């Protein structure tokens, strides 16, 4: 009886101590893909907000740093992501009876190009957009920082998901 208990205990110890991994982000084959070339996305939009470019680029770099183990390189990366901010614009919405807009939409468009130098055929190029509305009674300068943070998060999530979708 004692032998059966010892065997059962040994089986329990061996099976309960196994290591298991589950990826909720990107699951990249790091034996094949080790480096990422992430170029600066330059602001080419007609409406210029100086902090937009740096905040966007930092958010994008942070997303890949937190969710992958890829090493950033300046050239010849296994994967390359580049692009530009092509749109940052205000649009009046919902015109009232007195011909004033009740809301304004802030839209941001980013053109993104992805190239996988290790696995051909996975290259992508697309324009990603996000927008937020705010009351026209509020000045853009009062809400711009918060809106930029929300727009950046949405677009960076889309870029990450688009580029890592095949992994």
pLDDT digits (tens, 9 = 90+) for 62-114: 999 999 999 999 999 999 999 999 999 999 886 766 667 789 999 999 999 99
Element holding 89 (H helix, E strand): strand 79-95
Q: Please report the pLDDT score of residue 87 as a whole number.
A: 96
Whether the predicted pLDDT of 25 surpasses 50: no
What local confidence, expressed as pLDDT, does residue 29 receive?
A: 81
Task: For residue 148, count other CB atoms closer than 10 A to its CB.
Answer: 20
pTM: 0.79
Q: Is the pLDDT of residue 154 over 90?
A: yes
Q: Determine how β-strand 101-116 pairs with β-strand 79-95.
A: antiparallel
pLDDT, mean over the chain: 85
Strand bridging mode 79-95 / 35-38: parallel
Compute the chain's Rg from CA coordinates: 24
Q: If 0-12 CB within 10 Å is exposed, 13-18 middle and 19+ buried, where does residue 127 land?
A: exposed
- Res 51 pLDDT > 90: yes
What are the DSSP E strand ranges found in 6-160? 35-38, 42-43, 71-72, 79-95, 101-116, 124-135
């Amino acid at each position: 009886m004692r032998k059966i208990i010892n065997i059962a205990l040994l089986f329990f110890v061996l099976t309960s101590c196994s290591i298991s991994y589950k990826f909720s982000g990107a699951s990249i084959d790091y034996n094949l893909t080790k480096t990422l070339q992430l170029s600066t996305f330059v602001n080419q939009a007609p409406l210029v907000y100086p902090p937009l470019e740096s905040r966007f680029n930092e958010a994008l770099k942070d997303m890949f740093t937190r969710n992958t183990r890829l090493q950033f390189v300046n050239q010849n990366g296994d994967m390359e992501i580049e692009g530009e901010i092509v749109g940052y614009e205000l649009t009046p919405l919902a015109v009232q009876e007195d011909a004033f807009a009740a809301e304004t939409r802030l839209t941001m468009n980013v053109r993104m190009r992805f190239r996988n130098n290790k696995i051909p055929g996975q290259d992508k190029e697309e324009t990603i957009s996000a927008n937020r509305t705010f009351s026209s009674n509020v000045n853009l300068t009062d809400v711009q920082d918060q809106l930029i943070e929300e727009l950046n998060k949405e677009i960076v999530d889309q870029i990450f998901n688009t580029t890592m979708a095949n992994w």
